[in-house]
Chain A
């Protein structure tokens, strides 16, 4: 069974540009969530999509957005990039999503992330 795939692995952008990151979940998983990981703030929740609908959103500005397609693949977009957006962006898939994240039957499976550097 293929794992969670994130593309690209590395990305370098300049301030003011926008970027789109992609995540392909494990087959059959309907929930995809996104996280930002930085040395200072650790792993922070961005948003979660379930069956093409955004179900939860973390405390990030509106420059961060996402969507999910009918095949459960998800994209996240960051517009007007700032230096502070440099981070590892991780996506995770699960069967049922946030309501069952602590369930034995619906653990999170993470991709290896996209390392975004903003210069």
Chain B
């Protein structure tokens, strides 16, 4: 069992649709991060959420940290082909950095 479970694992949608990716854990995190990884590249940090209940917006991306700091969600509005990639949540409840299981998003033009 992974420390951070993401759902869905795969997502294929049409350009312009909305979507939500979930990141869940039974552990409490002081903060969670979201990364996007494109083929052939390393993950790139999108956002860090720190406070329970916090909502952060990055253009069409909205990130939320659960009140209990055990889960987070990423909502994309009006998805574009450039949003295609692997989305990873990550956090460090102990002295290691754990990544989620990942959500592979494909946005079809």
Using a CB–CB cutoff of 8 Å, the interface residues on chain A facing chain B are: 4, 33, 35, 42-45, 48, 55-56, 58, 90, 92, 98-99, 101-104, 107-113
Contact = CB atoms under 8 A, between A and B. Distances in A.
Contacts of B31: 102
Contacts of A45: 96-99
B97 A101 contact: yes
B93 to A, nearest CB: 10
Main secondary structure of the interface of B (DSSP, over half): loop
Contacts, number: 63
A104 B50 CA distance: 9
A56 B96 contact: yes
B28 interface: no
B101 A42 contact: yes
B6 to A, nearest CB: 9
Interface residues of B, number: 25
Contacts of B97: 33, 45, 98, 101, 108
A51 to B, nearest CB: 16
B44 interface: yes
Contacts of B102: 42-43
Interface of B: 2, 29-33, 40-45, 48, 50, 88, 91-92, 95-102
Contacts of B99: 35, 42-45
8 contacts: A42-B99, A44-B99, A92-B42, A101-B92, A107-B45, A110-B41, A112-B41, A113-B41
Nearest to B4: A42
B48 A108 contact: no
Contacts of B32: 102
B45 A58 contact: no
Contacts of A56: 95-96
Given A33-B97, A98-B97, A112-B41, A43 B92 contact: no
B98 to A, nearest CB: 7
Contacts of A33: 97
Contacts of B100: 42
A105 B42 CA distance: 20
